Amino acid sequence: MAMPKDTYYLTAHCPGNLGTVDVVTRYLREQGCYVVEMQTFDDVLSRHFFIRAEFRPPAGQPFDEAAFGNGFAPRADGFNMQWQLTASHYRPNVVVMVSRLDHCLNDLLYRYRTGQLAMEIPAIISNHPDLQRLADWHHIPYYHLPVDDDNREQQEAQVLGIIKECDADLVVLARYMQMLSPALSAELNGRAINIHHSLLPGFKGANSYHQAYDKGVKLVGATAHYINNDLDEGPIITQGVEVVDHSHYPEQLIAKGKDIECITLSRAVQYHIEQRVFLHNGKTVVFTS
């Protein structure tokens, strides 16, 4: 059943101490808010606490986000708590970057168009012109910025300019086959998601699925993660895997891999949009739906 559109997400994390759950739940009760969903995690190794509460404000009256925050802030400060309040109906701006492969972009656009992913896509950026027509069909501006060793710094400056102009909350690399510079990776820290197949690191390069077939691979999968300066080694958000066997030829492995990439990437984007992901100590805490 679809949740009412007037719910809010209260997310917070802080050092693990007695009363961390109570400070959130007690305040919500005092404000007359009904908790729809709540998830918590106490990391005993790092002694850090994480909480996500989805709640519905009292019916029949407007919800004052500023007043709610002003009332909660002093209580959160007592626990050294970092917190955020987000309306579930808020649609973040998501800039998508892509090269020639269209399966992840096409899947994201479908989920965007049908409302499965509550977001806006103000721009698509590519280093190739191939997917211009797909963007045009969705009435989304398409920026073709070819990249080579001579113009990489200049083109990245344009990429960052577009991201800022779009006021992007998130950047999704939907099979964008270019490495980002350390400077751009740092600028997008915690708000850029990449997808790659999980044949890495054993089978690299353009013919990775053919290499995997030659070795009799038994699993194919995909990993969605936040980017950082280590290629394909950023904090993992979601992973998908499926069993294969000797009857799967390279073309079938590729098709199955593309399906898993689409599902894994869209799930990671959904979790980010719904404030289900916490970054902490170089890895993630993810409250799945």
Spell out the per-residue pLDDT of the chain, length 289, in tens: 444 458 999 999 999 999 999 999 999 999 999 999 999 999 999 999 999 999 999 988 889 999 999 999 999 999 999 999 999 999 999 999 999 999 999 999 999 999 999 999 999 999 999 999 999 999 999 999 999 888 989 999 999 999 999 999 999 999 999 989 999 999 999 999 999 988 655 776 668 888 888 888 888 899 999 998 776 689 999 999 999 999 898 999 989 999 999 999 999 999 999 999 999 999 999 999 8
Enter the DSSP assignment of 239. E
Cis amide bond preceding 62, omega within 30: no
pLDDT at residue 3, rounded to an integer: 45
* Amino acid at site 115: G
Single pTM value for the model: 0.93
Q: Spell out the residues 6+ positions from residue 261 whose beta carbon is closer than 8 angstroms to its own.
A: 103, 104, 175, 195, 196, 197, 222, 240
Using alpha carbons only, what angle is made at residue 194 by residues 191 and 200, rounded to the nearest 5 degrees?
Answer: 145
Q: Spell out the residues 6+ positions from residue 274 whose beta carbon is closer than 8 angstroms to its own.
A: 9, 88, 289
Q: Write phi, then psi, for 261 (nearest 5 degrees).
A: -60, -45
Say which CATH topology domain 93-286 has.
Rossmann fold (3.40.50)
What is the enclosing helix (H) or strand (E) of 194? strand 192-197
Give Cα separations from 281 to 30, 235, 273 (angstroms). Answer: 33, 9, 21
Indicate which residue of 169, 232, 245, 259 is catalytic.
232
Say which CATH topology domain 8-87 has.
Alpha-Beta Plaits (3.30.70)
* Annotation marks residue 245 as catalytic: no
Domains of the chain, by residue range, sit at 8-87, 93-286
